[in-house]
Amino acid sequence: MIDLYDQHGIFIFSTLAEGFGKVFLEAMSRGLCVVASNTSGMRDVIRHRETGCVVDVGNVEGFACEVKWLLAAPERGREVSQAASTAAQEHTWDRVASETADFYGSLLRQHGLGDPL
């Protein structure tokens, strides 16, 4: 997949519904400008026109508009690409593990079951 990502500059992810997923983060980590549906994990991670672009689900014209915006100014695309790569690096497996443990620990404490560690 890395070779495929590295051959392109824009990644269009027009999903109707998605869990957090990781495919858009993989694309961002390789410096692709992601144009994605404004749902789920994409909405939480992508800062519109800074680290990628988010478009309302099903808005075909909106997707085309954002792709044109990126293609119209190559320097803008490079800025988004660099910001995307940096943002993706913040989402590590260590962070996921830590946040998951913290979440479950807070649930245990809420229910008076003590601290898990």
What pLDDT digit, counting tens, does each position of 21-41 carry? Answer: 789 999 999 999 999 999 988
Give the pLDDT score at 4: 75
Give the pLDDT score at 117: 60
116 pLDDT tier (thresholds 50, 70, 90): low
Instruction: Quote the CA–CA distance of 102 and 107 in Å, as a whole number.
Output: 9
Domains in the chain, CATH or no CATH each: 2-91 (3.40.50.2000)
What pLDDT digit, counting tens, does each position of 34-80 carry? Answer: 999 999 889 989 999 999 999 999 999 999 999 999 999 999 999 99
Residue 37 tokens, joined = 């549906």
